[in-house]
Structure 1
Amino acid sequence: MATPLSTPGPTLGVVGGGQLGRMLAEAAGPLGIELVVLDPTPECPASPVCRDQIVGEFDDDEAVRELAERSDFLTFEIELADPELLERVQEETGVPVHPSPDTLRMIQDKLVQKDALTDAGIPVPEYRAVDDADELRDALDELGSPAMVKAREGGYDGRGNAPIESPEDAEAVLDEIGGAAMVEAFVEYERELSVIGVKGADGVATFPAGENVHREEILRETVVPARADEDVRRRAQEVATDVLELMDGRGVYGIELFQGPDDEILVNEIAPRPHNSGHWTIEGAVTSQFEQHVRAVTGRPLGATDRRSPTVMTNLLGDVEETQPAALRGVEEILGTSRAALHWYGKRDARPLRKMGHVTLTGADDADVEDLLARVRGLRDSATFVGQD
């Protein structure tokens, strides 16, 4: 018989204390669950809202063991966590890690990730592993060009990705990637979609499909519902559910997809954690992705994933030319707008294009998302990190 749940609840240890850790702590508090985070940056963004921070590197054996000793469950909010260390600590201490270290290991290598998806019959763009310039040129003969070359490990927010226009550029592009790589065929996609999925002790669930707008390889906006036919949105959730069945371990997964030719849904990449494209769920869904992650990894029942209203989210990026102390000016319009919500990540320094916060705008049931998108862009542009004379 399962042990009855109670509140206050367990302590959740999180590897990583950035903005995702901060929002996890904000969601955990009302459930009676406290967080301890491990992060190398003293007074990291999560520190003001969690019980405590352990200052240490993500692969620091002693620090991760201390985190386990102080926690009932372990999770991570960054893929730079060390799966081998987490696996060892789980085995030696008995503190469960979710999602599983095996899942983290698989997702950390984009080629291994794509192979696992392909073996499971989940549709992905055509791809090839490439170890040198000759292999890249051969792959382009098969896949065509332009194409996208991706570092197998360590890439995020567009880092580690490089477009290639011609086989003549093979050596230069691989030098830019700087390590083991793979190449993907260019997809003439209609739009990029994302589905936030969650795997809990009581099953799996998906949030409605959102549409992502990127510029310079960085997510700028998410629009929910996605501006696609209902059948396309439903198919995206179906593919995301197939992905969840493949994943090992409880938690939230950010699943990025392409709406390709003839409305085919292709999986781009998976994040084994809450995702930027799911920030809309804080105001726009019955249960946020962050609360869902806390519920899932601690073995609690999942909440409802229904959308409350049409919702758009825009990132607040550093609009500075060089690093400077972070002070967001001109927030009056955001704070004075009905149905707008400002989220500040607590980072000390603004850097060019660094994610510093986000703004969410919700609408009535019959709201036009195009109108919401235009309005939220205006709110975003009303604020700046640039100093005033």
Structure 2
Amino acid sequence: MTTLRTPGPTIGVVGGGQLGRMLAEAAAPLGVEVVVLDPTPDCPAALVARDQIVADFDDEAGIRDLAERADVLTFEIELADQNVMDRISEETGTPVHPKPSTLETIHDKLVQKRELEDAGVPVPPFRKVDDADDIREAIDDYGAPVMLKARTGGYDGRGNVPVESKADAEDALESVAGPAMVESFVDFEREVSVIAVKGDDEVATFPLGENVHEDEILRETIVPARSSEAVTERAYDVARDVLEVMDGRGVYGIELFEATDGEILLNEIAPRPHNSGHWTIEGTQTSQFEQHTRAVLGWPLGSTALRSPTVMTNLLGDVDEEQPAAVGDIDEILGTPGAALHWYGKQQARPLRKMGHVTVTGDEGTDSIDDLLETARELEAAVTFQS
């Protein structure tokens, strides 16, 4: 077995948003340096990473520079160009994890669903959309509403449009503005997610999280999820099946529906740390960001054991229009036992933009999930955005 030492290697990350920032924060105690590539000067990760290369996510020269400075490449945003990364990895010998082939699968939701269905992963009924008539036919077959999804470019709920009736088909397709697919609308009890990790020769899963969305944007994650033991185990089984389809080491955010009949259906996959896993920083022995660091380097994975019941709530831009980012009235968060503030360092606040998050942890047997959720909501509501 190779003896690991610190100071350790350097990870090159395509993307320097909040995920890159928290990845750099987690890597530093391990003696691992992070260099990020992002088109926004002084991006959120720049403050804590070793360095930033200012370049677009598909900039070949920039990614080559990143590869030459790193021992392994990874990405924190799906806008990374898989073809460029694959080519530069071959030319420089710097490996990419997860593999560019996985990124290629993820980029197109229709391709993603087809591959997963072929592998036996349970997914909602879906079909390709070429025109509005395809949406109308889906409504005939699946019933209304249906969910229209942009096949490429959509993330954080962007590009997902509920279609309530056949009369709405034309407008919905126009709003997606590109290749699309349609899914049946799942009658679900709750939305859940498994943060799963592929290591060098091991797999790990974090405790099941329950997610609350509004307007297709994640608002809260509750752990442990309020699901039965049987449903929870089924979610883990599906997540492990998903990992069999994915190629390369790293963290995967696996979003699932718990249907009203108890069945688990796959919603979407993110081949990177995920918003619904931010709670792991305070809530588990090893955070998703440290796990991603360990995994892409081929290091042993850490424990995913739950420290305590945990609730995470996002701090979204509570502004009417874009303005310089600042946050006020955080004294209540800082003064609440078990509460932790994470501010992402974004320079501009926009309506519903993810600016940070708050985590609230409690003692098992003393603090109920409902109590933690109420506290998290009160703390989030007290925060104000100031210009």
Find the counterpart in structure 1 of residue 120 from structure 2.
121
SS in 2 for 1:190: strand
SS in 2 for 1:123: coil
**Is 1:23 aligned to residue 39 of structure 2?**
no
Q: Which amino acid aligns with 1:230?
A: E
Contact map agreement 1:202 1:302 (CA 8 A) in 2: no
Q: Which amino acid aligns with 2:284?
A: A
Find the counterpart in structure 2 of residue 268 from structure 1.
267
Q: Which amino acid aligns with 1:280?
A: W
SS in 1 for 2:197: strand
Q: CA deviation at 1:202?
A: 2.7
Contact map agreement 2:281 2:287 (CA 8 A) in 1: yes
SS in 2 for 1:292: helix
Find the counterpart in structure 1 of residue 243 from structure 2.
244
Find the counterpart in structure 2 of residue 66 from structure 1.
65
Find the counterpart in structure 2 of residue 148 from structure 1.
147
SS in 1 for 2:294: helix
Q: CA deviation at 1:156?
A: 1.0
Q: Which amino acid aligns with 1:154?
A: G
Contact map agreement 1:319 1:386 (CA 8 A) in 2: no
**1:213-270: per-residue Cα shift (whole Å, max 9, x none)?**
0111110000000011122112111111111121100000000000003100000000
Find the counterpart in structure 1 of residue 36 from structure 2.
37
Measured in 2, the distance between the counterparts of 1:356 and 1:316 equals 6
Q: Which amino acid aligns with 1:372?
A: L
Normalising by structure 1, we get a TM-score of 0.98
Normalising by structure 2, we get a TM-score of 0.98
Measured in 1, the distance between the counterparts of 2:350 and 2:106 equals 28
Contact map agreement 1:313 1:361 (CA 8 A) in 2: yes
Q: Which amino acid aligns with 2:379?
A: L
Q: CA deviation at 1:274?
A: 0.2
Alignment RMSD: 0.9
**1:123-160: per-residue Cα shift (whole Å, max 9, x none)?**
01110111111222222221221100000001111110
- Specify every segment of 5 or more residues in structure 2 that has no aligned partner in the other structure, as ranges: none
**1:284-318: per-residue Cα shift (whole Å, max 9, x none)?**
00000000000000110000111110000000111
Measured in 2, the distance between the counterparts of 1:177 and 1:363 equals 42
Measured in 1, the distance between the counterparts of 2:344 and 2:314 equals 11
Q: CA deviation at 1:386?
A: 4.1
**Is 1:376 aligned to residue 379 of structure 2?**
no
Find the counterpart in structure 1 of residue 49 from structure 2.
50
Measured in 1, the distance between the counterparts of 2:108 and 2:53 equals 27
**Is 1:201 aligned to residue 200 of structure 2?**
yes
**1:177-200: per-residue Cα shift (whole Å, max 9, x none)?**
101110000111000000100000
Q: Which amino acid aligns with 1:99?
A: P
1:165-244 paired onto structure 2 within 5 Å: 165-244=164-243
SS in 2 for 1:46: helix
Find the counterpart in structure 2 of residue 311 from structure 1.
310
Contact map agreement 1:254 1:271 (CA 8 A) in 2: yes
Measured in 1, the distance between the counterparts of 2:199 and 2:63 equals 24
**Is 1:291 aligned to residue 287 of structure 2?**
no
Find the counterpart in structure 2 of residue 112 from structure 1.
111
Measured in 2, the distance between the counterparts of 1:352 and 1:102 equals 34
**1:68-106: per-residue Cα shift (whole Å, max 9, x none)?**
000000000000000000000111111000000000000
Find the counterpart in structure 1 of residue 319 from structure 2.
320
Q: CA deviation at 1:359?
A: 0.3
Q: CA deviation at 1:168?
A: 2.0
Measured in 1, the distance between the counterparts of 2:207 and 2:286 equals 12
Measured in 2, the distance between the counterparts of 1:313 and 1:71 equals 32
Measured in 2, the distance between the counterparts of 1:386 and 1:325 equals 8
Measured in 2, the distance between the counterparts of 1:386 and 1:91 equals 47
SS in 2 for 1:263: coil
Measured in 1, the distance between the counterparts of 2:268 and 2:38 equals 25
Contact map agreement 2:138 2:146 (CA 8 A) in 1: no
Q: Which amino acid aligns with 1:369?
A: I
1:91-110 paired onto structure 2 within 5 Å: 91-110=90-109
Find the counterpart in structure 2 of residue 331 from structure 1.
330
Find the counterpart in structure 2 of residue 353 from structure 1.
352
Q: Which amino acid aligns with 1:57?
A: D
Measured in 1, the distance between the counterparts of 2:197 and 2:69 equals 25
Q: CA deviation at 1:329?
A: 0.6
**Superposition misfits of 4+ residues, deviation over 2 angstroms:** none
Q: Which amino acid aligns with 2:64?
A: R
Measured in 1, the distance between the counterparts of 2:214 and 2:53 equals 35
Q: CA deviation at 1:276?
A: 0.2
Find the counterpart in structure 2 of residue 133 from structure 1.
132
Contact map agreement 2:325 2:386 (CA 8 A) in 1: no
SS in 1 for 2:261: helix
Measured in 2, the distance between the counterparts of 1:146 and 1:220 equals 23
Measured in 1, the distance between the counterparts of 2:277 and 2:324 equals 27
Contact map agreement 1:41 1:55 (CA 8 A) in 2: yes
